[in-house]
Chain A
Amino acid sequence: MVRRWHFNPYHQRIDESLEKDPGEVRADTEWPAWHVFRQPKRGEAHVLVGMVHAPDAETALLLAKEQYARREDCVNLWVVRTDQVHATSYEDADMFEFVSDRTYRLTRGFPVGEKLKKIKAGDPYAERLETLEEIEKEHAGKKIPQEASGDGSD
Chain B
Amino acid sequence: MTAPTDPALREALASYLLALADDELIIGHRLSEWTGLGPIIEEDIACSSMAQDELGHSLTYHRLRKSLGVEEDPDTLNFTRPPEQFLNALLCELPRGDYGFTLVRQTLYDLAEFTRLEAHAESSSWEELAEASRKLMQEEKYHLAHGEAMTRRLATATDESRRRIRDAFHELFPYALGLFEPLPQEELLVQAGIKPGEKELMDRFLDRLDGFLEGTDLEVPAIRSLEGGWEPKVRPVFGGRKGEHTEHLAKLLGAMQMLVREHPGAQW
Contacts and interface: CB of A to CB of B under 8 A. Distances in A.
A130 interface: no
Chain B's interface: helix, strand, loop or mixed, by majority?
helix
A59 B146 CA distance: 8
A10 B36 contact: yes
B142 A59 contact: no
B46 A59 contact: no
A67 interface: yes
Interface string B243-263: 000000000000100100000
B153 A59 contact: yes
A13 B37 contact: yes
A70 B142 CA distance: 11
Interface in A3-47: 9-10, 13-14, 16-17, 20, 31
A54 interface: yes
Interface residues of A, number: 20
Interface string A59-79: 100110111001000000000
B137 interface: no
B145 interface: yes
A53 B145 contact: no
B145 A62 contact: yes
Interface of A: 9-10, 13-14, 16-17, 20, 31, 52-55, 58-59, 62-63, 65-67, 70
19 contacts: A9-B255, A10-B35, A13-B36, A14-B36, A31-B40, A53-B42, A59-B153, A62-B142, A62-B150, A63-B42, A63-B43, A63-B46, A65-B142, A66-B45, A66-B46, A66-B49, A66-B146, A67-B45, A67-B46
